[in-house]
């Protein structure tokens, strides 16, 4: 089995490449290295290229056969999507259309898409399942929802089968310590907290402590990166066995507050973590927690690393490795 991983040098993509390699798959990574790292691709072949380049895609598909494509190469910063929407519509939507059309011409009809909980917008329930209204409130979420809609139309018209996996908050790092988050700028809470613990940043800022939650800080659903990889693997098996197009929400189903993350990080690291408090950010809901019942029932998915301590232990191991590298 030969899998093409778009964006396989990035955070989630690189973990997926390693996971596929451990399963005995042949893997090719296509990445333009705009945000990824060549040394994070630990298995298979690497091609530096861009899905905006149709001629490059055609040449890649002519040269070898792929059983399926996994797509992780999206821009993901919500705030930037508001100030620079053209960049997001071009990369996340237009370039993905380019990839899908190249796949059609190459007769590749299986596609796994990295989607997001941002397609739902403001939550209307404590736990969000697949039936929740899809009303994104920023360009990032809209571009992901548009791709999901394109995939439904491409299935109906061309028979291209897809699985859309909607992450809530990807977190943690490779349990073996080989991979982790390397975003610059970093925007995710857990690595920012751990940078404050290690001294790479002076403090962590908590935006709002007057929410309607037990400790007043926002609650989010954190899902371990390796558990996301296992969901992708199960989705791939579903497609390869003749399953139809589907969409799944991925999360642990139990959220943790910002304060819980900080307190757990203090306990795991044994370090003091300076905190500053600021006003709420516009558009931040009090809680965002997944209902992943469908993924559990239909894919047989079972998160292995659900404990917050484990997420932070793995991420802290990676942060320490980054410090040693200098």
DSSP state of 279: P
pLDDT bracket for residue 78 (50, 70, 90):
confident
Q: Where are the alpha helices (DSSP H) in 34-161?
A: 54-63, 78-83, 85-88, 95-105, 139-158
Q: Cα torsion at 2, 170, 168, 5 (round to 10°)?
A: -20
Do residues 5 and 20 touch, judged by C-beta distance below 8 A? yes
Tokens 């403001």 -> residue: 122
CA atoms within 13 A on the CB side of 216: 9
| Domain 2-171+223-250 architecture | 3-Layer(aba) Sandwich (3.40)
Given a cut of 70, is residue 326 above it in pLDDT? no
- List the CATH code of the domain at 189-220+253-290+304-325: 3.90.25.10
Tens-place pLDDT, residues 141-191: 999 999 999 999 999 999 999 999 999 999 999 999 999 998 888 889 999
Calculate Rg over the CA atoms of the chain: 19
Say if strands 246-250 and 204-207 run parallel, antiparallel, or are unpaired: unpaired
Question: Tell me, what's the pLDDT at 325?
Answer: 77
Q: Would you list the domain boundaries of the chain?
A: 2-171+223-250, 189-220+253-290+304-325
Question: Tell me, what's the pLDDT at 323?
Answer: 78
Tens-place pLDDT, residues 265-320: 999 999 999 999 999 887 788 889 999 999 999 999 999 999 999 999 999 999 99
Mean pLDDT throughout 230-256? Answer: 96
CA distance 241 to 17: 21
Of 77, 21, 15, whose CA–CA distance to 44 is shortest? Answer: 21
Question: Tell me, what's the pLDDT at 139?
Answer: 94
**Residue 301, token pair as written in the block:** 């998915």
Tens-place pLDDT, residues 82-96: 999 999 999 999 999
- Please tell me if the domain spanning 2-171+223-250 has the same topology as the one spanning 189-220+253-290+304-325: no
CA distance 219 to 215: 10
Tokens 């909980």 -> residue: 117
Do residues 18 and 44 touch, judged by C-beta distance below 8 A? no
Q: Cα torsion at 24, 28, 34, 38 (round to 10°)?
A: 60
CA distance 215 to 126: 16
**Residue 325, token pair as written in the block:** 């590298």
Say if strands 275-278 and 222-224 run parallel, antiparallel, or are unpaired: unpaired
Share of the chain above pLDDT 70, in %: 100
Is 140 a known active-site residue?
yes
Catalytic position from the list 11, 88, 89, 140: 140
Tens-place pLDDT, residues 95-125: 999 999 999 999 999 999 999 999 999 899 8
Q: How many CB atoms lie within 10 A of CB 182?
A: 18
Mean pLDDT throughout 41-65? Answer: 97
CA distance 66 to 247: 22
Q: Report the SS3 class of residue 37.
A: coil
Q: Cα torsion at 38, 228, 18, 190 (round to 10°)?
A: 50
Given a cut of 70, is residue 193 above it in pLDDT? yes
Do residues 217 and 258 touch, judged by C-beta distance below 8 A? yes
Question: Tell me, what's the pLDDT at 184?
Answer: 83
* Average of per-residue pLDDT values in the chain: 95
């Amino acid at each position: 089995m030969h899998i093409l991983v778009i964006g396989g040098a990035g955070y989630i993509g690189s973990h997926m490449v390693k996971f596929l390699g451990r399963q005995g798959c042949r893997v090719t990574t296509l990445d333009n290295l705009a945000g990824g790292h060549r040394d994070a691709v630990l298995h298979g072949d690497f091609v530096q290229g861009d899905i905006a380049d149709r001629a490059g895609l055609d040449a890649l598909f002519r040269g070898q056969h792929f059983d399926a494509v996994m797509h992780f190469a999206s821009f993901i910063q919500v705030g930037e999507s508001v100030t620079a929407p053209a960049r997001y519509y071009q990369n996340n939507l237009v370039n993905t259309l380019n990839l899908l059309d190249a796949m059609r011409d190459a007769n590749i009809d299986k596609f796994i898409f990295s989607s997001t909980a941002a397609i739902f917008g403001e939550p209307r329930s404590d736990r969000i399942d697949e039936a929740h209204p899809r009303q994104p409130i920023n360009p990032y979420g809209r571009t992901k929802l548009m791709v999901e809609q394109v995939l439904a139309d491409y299935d109906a018209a061309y028979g291209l089968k897809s699985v859309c996996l909607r992450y809530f908050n990807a977190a943690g790092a490779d349990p073996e310590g080989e991979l982790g988050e390397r975003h610059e700028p970093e925007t995710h809470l857990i690595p920012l907290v751990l940078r404050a613990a290690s001294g790479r940043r002076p403090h962590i800022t908590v935006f709002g402590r007057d929410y309607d939650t037990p400790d007043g800080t926002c609650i989010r659903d954190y899902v371990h990166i390796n558990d996301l990889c296992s969901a992708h693997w199960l989705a791939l098996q579903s497609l390869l066995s003749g399953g139809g197009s589907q969409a799944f929400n991925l999360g642990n189903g139990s959220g943790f507050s910002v304060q819980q993350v900080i307190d757990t990080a203090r306990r795991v690291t044994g370090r003091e973590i300076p905190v500053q408090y600021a006003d709420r950010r516009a558009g931040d809901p009090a809680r965002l927690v997944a209902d992943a019942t469908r993924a559990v029932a239909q894919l047989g998915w079972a998160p292995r690393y659900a404990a917050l301590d484990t997420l932070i232990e793995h991420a802290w191991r990676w942060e320490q490795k980054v410090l040693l590298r200098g």
